[in-house]
Amino acid sequence: MYLYSLTLQQATGIVCAINGNFVGGKAQEIVVARGKSLDLLRPDEAGKIQTLHSVEVFGAIRCLAHFRLTGSQKDYVVVGSDSGRIVIMEYHKEKNCFHKLYQETFGKSGCRRIVPGQYLAVDPKGRAVMIAACEKQKLVYVLNRDTAARLTISSPLEAHKSHTITYSITGVDCGFDNPIFAAIELDYSEADQDSTGQAASEAQKHLTFYELDLGLNHVSRKWTEPIDNGANLLVTVPGGDDGPSGVLVCAENFVIYKNQGHPDVRAVIPRRADLPAERGVLIVSSATHRQKSMFFFLLQTEYGDIFKVTLEHKRDEQDRVHVTELKIKYFDTIPVTSAMCVLKTGFLFAASEFGNHALYQFQAIGDGDDVEASSATLMETEEGFQPVFFQPRGLKNLVRIDQVASLMPIMDMKVMNLFEEETPQIFTLCGRGPRSSLRILRPGLAISEMAVSQLPGVPNAVWTVKKNVNDEFDAYIVVSFPSGTLVLSIGETVEEVSDSGFLDTTPSLAVSLLGDDSLMQVHPNGIRHIREDGRINEWKTPGKKTIVKVGSNRLQVVIALSGGELIYFEMDMTGQLMEVEKHEMPGDVACLDIAPVPEGSRDHVSLLWAHMITQ
CB 418 within 8 A of CB 371: no
Q: What is the pLDDT of residues 569-614, one digit of tens each?
A: 998 888 888 998 898 888 888 888 888 877 655 544 444 444 333 3
Q: Please give the C-alpha separations between residue 495 and each of 46, 479, 486, 504, in angstroms, as whole numbers.
A: 16, 12, 10, 15
The mean pLDDT value for 203-228 works out to 94
List Cβ neighbours of 192 (8 Å cut-off, separation of 6 or more).
163
- CA dist., res. 22 & res. 24, Å (int): 6
Helix (H, G, I), strand (E, B) or coil at 377: helix
What are the Cα distances from residue 180, in Å, to 142, 143, 437? 12, 14, 46
What distance in Å separates the CA atoms of residue 152 and residue 141, rounded to the nearest whole number?
Answer: 10
Burial class (CB in 10 A: 0-12, 13-18, 19+), 512: middle
User: What CA–CA distance (Å, rounded) separates 582 from 596?
Assistant: 20
What pLDDT sits at residue 606?
44
Integer Cα distance of 167 and 183 in angstroms: 7
386 DSSP 8-state letter: P
How many CA atoms are closer than 13 Å to the CA of 349, on its beta-carbon side?
26
- Select from 551, 537, 562 the least CA-distant residue to 610: 551
Q: Which amino acid is at 388?
A: V
Residue 574: count of CB within 10 angstroms of its CB: 6
Q: Give residue-wise pLDDT tens across range 314-329.
A: 887 777 888 999 999 9
Is 449 a residue whose pLDDT tops 80? no
Q: Dump pLDDT digits (tens) for 532-565.
A: 888 899 999 988 899 999 999 888 999 999 988 9
Phi and psi at 133, nearest 5°, equal -100, 170
Q: What is the DSSP letter of 135?
A: B
What DSSP letter does each residue of 397-435 carry, written as one string? SEEEEEEE----SEEEEEEE-TT--SS-EEEEEESSGGG
Q: What are phi and psi of 377, to 5 degrees?
A: -110, 15
Please give the pLDDT value at position 192.
Answer: 87
Q: What share of the chain is helix, strand, coil (3-state, %, to 5)?
A: 0, 50, 45
pLDDT of residue 610: 40
- Check residue 376 and report its DSSP letter: G
How is residue 49 annotated by DSSP? E
Residue 348 has pLDDT above 80, yes or no: yes
Question: What backbone phi and psi angles, to 5 degrees, belong to 523?
Answer: -125, 170
CA 354, 358, 363, 366 dihedral sign is positive
CB count, 10 Å around CB of 95? 9
Residue 310 neighbours by CB distance under 10 Å: 17
**pLDDT of the residue at 71:** 83
Calpha distance 522→463 (Å, rounded): 12
Q: What is the mean pLDDT of residues 472-494?
A: 88
- Give the closest residue to 199 by CA, choosing from 163, 234, 169, 227: 163
> In whole angstroms, how large is the CA radius of gyration of the chain?
33
Q: Is the full-model pTM beyond 0.85?
A: no
Residue 135: strand pairing partners: 165
Residues composing the chain: 615
pLDDT (0 to 100) of residue 99: 93
pLDDT score for 304: 94
pLDDT at 141: 96
Quick one: average pLDDT of 278-304? 92
Query: What local confidence, expressed as pLDDT, does residue 442 receive?
Result: 87
Provide the greatest CA pair distance for the chain. Answer: 108
Mean pLDDT of the chain: 89
- In this prediction, residue 317 carries a pLDDT of 74
pLDDT in tens, 366-380: 888 888 888 888 877
> Which pLDDT score is estimated for 4?
66
CB atoms within 10 A of CB 463: 15
Q: Are 234 and 184 in contact (CB under 8 A)?
A: yes
139, pLDDT greater than 90: yes
Question: Do the Cβ atoms of 372 and 269 come closer than 8 Å?
Answer: no
Strand partners, 56: 37
Look at residue 87 and tell me whether its pLDDT is greater than 90.
yes
What's 314-357 look like in SS3? EECCCCCEEEEEEEEEEEEECCCEEEEEECCCCEEEEEECCCCE
Average pLDDT, integer, range 246-266: 93
For residue 8, pLDDT over 70 is answered with yes
Q: Which residues contact 219 (CB under 8 A, 6 or more apart)?
A: 140, 157, 158, 159, 210, 211, 212, 213
Question: In which band, very low, low, confident or very high, does the pLDDT at 2 lie, cut at 50, 70 and 90?
Answer: low
Percent of the chain with pLDDT over 70: 95
